[in-house]
Amino acid sequence: MKTAFTRVALAASCLMFAGQLLAAEPKRPECIAPAKPGGGFDLTCKLAQSGLKDSGLLKAPMRVTYMPGGVGAVAYNAVVAQRAKEPGTITAFSSGSLLNLAQGKFGRYDENAVRWLAGIGTDYGAISVRADSPYKTLKDLVEAVKKDPGSVVFGAGATIGGQDWMQTALIARAAGIDVQKLRYVAFEGGGETLTAMLGGHVQVTSSGLGEVTPQLAAGKIRILAVLSEERLPGKLSDLPTAKEQGYDITWPVIRGFYMGPEVSDEDFNWWKQQFDTLLASEDFAKLREQRDLFPLSMTGDELTAFVKKQVQDYKALAGEFGLVQ
């Protein structure tokens, strides 16, 4: 009798849990990309959009909306202050978001202001030029900047102190170049930056690798350096690292999502379970690889701990460049 009762109770509890999960599924899911279309935030949202739809983990179609401004600051403030309880809204973030948080660039809100949901992949920083650029290697670029810092214009999807700027600043510092002498043009997102370089308005872009690989495949750009520890696998194995060219610089870029601070545990856990399932699937691994991202799977408490440590590390790095407010 006890065994039968236990089985009935367990079955009832499973049904109740399944019912709660079904009730928690959002009716109008949305992913906010905190920049204009075409950059890394757009890539991140569309990866989740495709993965969740194709796997059947999200029944309603998820729309991607764009909220540019302050390289993530406008979206962060809007989610915290105006959309704190929305159960169907996830917002893309990257290591660049965390670097800006470390410098106080998101206003009065810090890394504790949102609920960190899922990290779904890793990108790496990349230094790129047009395919017809006279710079064939990172050494060519560094020598040109050393000779005449004003002769080379760098473009990046952030202001001074942002992730893309930091990538070039670290290389400049390693090469003994005064970072203050770099000519730097800030754009709102990686898509704008790449368009500006292809149009000849800037000579070099610093970005995430995944943002520029479509143009690499089309033969429109050349990647001078990838900021990874060693050469990447597969179709990207021909790309040289900064490290092998004498500049001991690496910059991994986490890509993932957060939710509003007042989202209920039920709604948050529904999303967490979907991402836990998605990140464990082979189909999603292939989808991520197609977008030139690399494995990284963290959700909930694990991601929150990672984010908080990363922000502290970035505070120390920003302090080295005199950037902390």
Round to whole Å and give the CA distance between 259 and 48. 14
Nearest Cα neighbor of 142 from 156, 160, 125, 129 is 129
pLDDT band (50, 70, 90) for residue 23: low
Q: Give phi and psi for 117, each to the nearest 5.
A: -95, -60
pLDDT band (50, 70, 90) for residue 51: very high
H-helix segments, 148-291:
163-174, 190-198, 209-217, 265-279, 282-290
Answer whether residue 190 shows pLDDT above 50: yes
170: CB partners within 8 A, 6+ apart: 249, 251
8 Å CB contact between 26 and 60 = yes
**CATH numbers and ranges of domains, the chain:** 28-123+253-320 (3.40.190.150), 125-250 (3.40.190.10)
Nearest Cα neighbor of 297 from 275, 268, 273 is 275
Which stretches of the chain are assigned E, i.e. beta strand? 30-33, 63-66, 89-94, 115-130, 153-156, 183-186, 204-208, 221-226, 252-259, 298-299
What are the tens digits of pLDDT across the range 120-170? 999 999 999 999 999 999 999 999 999 998 899 999 877 788 899 999 999
What are the tens digits of pLDDT across the range 66-107? 999 887 999 999 999 999 999 999 999 999 999 999 999 999
How many DSSP H helices and E strands does the chain contain? 11, 10
Answer whether residue 15 shows pLDDT above 80: no
8 Å CB contact between 94 and 40 = yes
Round to whole Å and give the CA distance between 226 and 251. 9
- Classified as helix, coil or strand, 21 is helix
